[in-house]
Structure 1
Amino acid sequence: MSDPTFWVLVGFLVFVGAAVYFKLPGMIGKALDERGATIKAELDQARRLREEAQALFVDYQRRQREAEKEATEIVAHAKEEAARLIREAHEDLEATMTRRRQLAETKIAQAEAQAVKEVREAAVDLAIAAAASVLKQELQGDRASATMDRAIGDLRKHLN
């Protein structure tokens, strides 16, 4: 019995017997089944997470398209608003220029009327002075003074 092969066989049989006695194959099978179930659960969870990530990605792409569309609309609206404001500014400028032109024309007309009035008054005064000079030379005495005063008064009435 000194053959080493015999003792290896005996050791192996004792080991297998102990493993069966302590239900080691069942425990190993159970551990492998539990590990398989854990791996399956992790795979299922990974699949769910992947699907959720894809759904989120699709949602973000949709939101990005909507944001780009909204940004385009905002830019278009801003351009329209800017064009409207420019039109209004031009219209306001034209209205202001028209008012200023009318005001200047009114002032010019008033200045012309004032100048005409002053020229008429100067002409009246000059005509009165000329008439008085002529009448003084032609008429002499008391009668001349009364006639001249009356003519000057009539002249003022007719010229004004």
Structure 2
Amino acid sequence: MSDMELAELWVAVAFFVFVGILLYNGVHKALAKALDARGARIAAELDEARRLKEEAQKLVAEYKRKQREAEAEAEAIVTAAKAEAERLAAETKAKLEEFVSRRTRMAEDKIAQAEHQALADVKAFAADAAVQAAERILAASVPGTATGDRLLGQAIQDVRGKLN
């Protein structure tokens, strides 16, 4: 055997002796225990990650539900606001129409009253003018007798009563 082969043989022997010492001292058990512990820790971390993922999915679902509820509530508020605005617009329109109608009626009443008053004033003026004219005519045609004055006064009263 050559030196090279001999060196390889001693390396192999040393390796097997080293492994034997490790096995004798129970290093393989400690190594297996460490690997098992690491596997358990990884499994626990995976379980925790799975639990966190499920929790996150629940939170996402809850937030989506809340978002849908908020959108529905916002839509309901907008719909209610539109309905309220339409109701107020209709109410305002009705009040405005009623106000305009009332003001028109009041104006028409004032016009009718003014027409009636003007007609009464014209009649009164005409009656006064007729009475004055009748007084002048009768005074000129009937000379100053007591019977004539009495008849004249009575005629004037009759004319006033009929014209007013």
Equivalence for 2:153 = 149
Q: Does 1:108 align with 2:115?
A: no
Return the match for 1:31 from 30, 34, 39.
34
Question: What are the within-5 Å matches in structure 2 for residues 1-160 of structure 1?
Answer: 4-5=7-8, 8=11, 11-12=14-15, 15-143=18-146, 144-160=148-164
**Could you state the TM-score of these two structures normalised by the residue count of structure 2?**
0.81
Gaps of 5+ in 2: none
- Report the identity percentage: 48
Shift of 1:9: 5.1
Distance 2:115 2:9 in 1: 146
Amino acid at match of 2:154: R
* Higher normalized contact order (CA 8 Å, seq sep 6+, divided by chain length): 2
Distance 1:85 1:61 in 2: 35
Which segment is superposed worse, 121-130 or 136-145?
Answer: 136-145
**Could you state the TM-score of these two structures normalised by the residue count of structure 1?**
0.83
Deviation per residue, 1:45-98 (Å, 9 max, x gap):
111111222222222233333333333333333222222222222211211111
Gaps of 5+ in 1: none
